[in-house]
A and B are shown apart, each in its own frame.
Chain A
């Protein structure tokens, strides 16, 4: 959790912002918050160099922009999401599944009560992508299965797999907050003997052989890793994909179908969809 950020604030008329962005695009920034004639440029401290403030201002002045240095500060990484998290309501997915923060858990007796107290990690059930994955997992996880949860966030899907009877669940994420939070939630749900959490990048992970894999990610991560997912899942196994916009469904399905997978079912809610693929019976 040692990440620090450098925030550089500049005053600049809004009409000059476009040209200023042309200058800033050459720097390793994370993003910008734009106010009225003022903007704050955010960097990871590891990417920041001591002369950046001076250089950026000088480049903008040379271009004829009316920029004025307005401040520089560093910010510790912290749980920016804490205020919202403290106010969350439970999410009733269906008659059997509810996702509930620890302080509301006693109010529910659903057979699959998932105690998820989030800490700047995705997966509280408030977003359609998580709810649809829960519904698909309820249908596709069998007792004694081995499952993988790609990009586990709060750990909610890994915990659900364990509660549905999987005896071995490997969950991973590249985000430090997610790792800490998923481990806390795994313990809260008393499935720490079943769910193993690892901090690793998708491109570096050694996926174990499994009966099913859940990936609530993005199209630009699912598409290039589709073949790796298929290799990890046993013939006739299940791959569940979510985080996909409805109009991206065909693009995301294509690499799975071209490797011999079939679509078992898909769900849609608002503009999002989730897809259940079956891997080919014989490896292609």
Chain B
């Protein structure tokens, strides 16, 4: 008999640094899932993206097994990394904290394409540019 999907949950975790501390321990523990195995797998699979916060979608099954999918990093964090700003501007209309080039936007759009609801790279670039403006990051060119 095929195992039954019991549910999903979403975490945001630092690449390569997951432990059984919250949120991983309680999220897996309360569902009776083997959190230690998740830690092993997530760290192995995310270690090449140090410093990134990565969204993870966990699906768990009736036999206490699970699968997970690591999504692309949030656009805001990719923009912070690309521009070197400490964080977004609190007054993004007035105070500009940095600049991002079209080429950098295209790079970020490529990374995000798989998770964005966009059919073309151009629409993904527009979406990332919107995030940049909300953070007080000016699009150059």
Residues of A at the B interface (CB closer than 8 Å) are: 3, 5, 7, 17-19, 21-26, 30-34, 39-40, 42, 44, 59, 62-64, 75, 77-78, 80-84, 87, 118, 120-122, 124, 126-127, 129, 175, 177, 218-220, 243-245, 248
Q: Once the chains are docked, how many angstroms separate the CA of A87 from the CA of B29?
A: 12
Q: Is the CB of A22 within 8 A of B18?
A: no
Q: Which of B21, B43, B45, B135 has the most CB of A within 10 A?
A: B21
Known contacts A22-B80, A84-B29, A84-B33, A77 near B21 by CB under 8 Å: yes
Q: Is the CB of B134 within 8 A of A19?
A: yes
Min CB distance B11 to A, Å, is: 6
Known contacts A25-B77, A82-B29, A126-B34, A33 near B23 by CB under 8 Å: yes
Collect the chain B residues with CB atoms within 8 Å of residue A82's CB.
29
Known contacts A22-B76, A25-B80, A64-B92, A245 near B29 by CB under 8 Å: no
Task: Name the interface residues of B2-55: CB closer than 8 Å to any CB of A.
Answer: 9-14, 16, 18-30, 32-37, 39-40, 43-45, 47, 50, 53, 55
Q: Is the CB of A219 within 8 A of B47?
A: yes
| In the complex, residue of chain A having the shortest beta-carbon distance to the beta carbon of B91 | A62
Collect the chain A residues with CB atoms within 8 Å of residue B74's CB.
17-18, 21-22
Can you list 18 pairs linking A and B with CB atoms under 8 Å apart?
Answer: A18-B74, A21-B74, A21-B77, A22-B88, A25-B76, A30-B22, A31-B18, A32-B13, A63-B88, A63-B90, A63-B92, A64-B134, A80-B35, A83-B29, A83-B32, A84-B29, A118-B36, A122-B40
Collect the chain A residues with CB atoms within 8 Å of residue B32's CB.
83-84, 87
We find that the number of chain B residues with CB closer than 8 angstroms to chain A is 52
Collect the chain B residues with CB atoms within 8 Å of residue A219's CB.
44, 47
Taking a contact as CB atoms closer than 8 A, the residue among B23, B33, B76, B79 that contacts A31 in the complex is B23
| In the complex, residue of chain B having the shortest beta-carbon distance to the beta carbon of A25 | B77
Q: Once the chains are docked, how many angstroms separate the CA of A19 from the CA of B133?
A: 11
Q: Is the CB of A80 within 8 A of B29?
A: yes
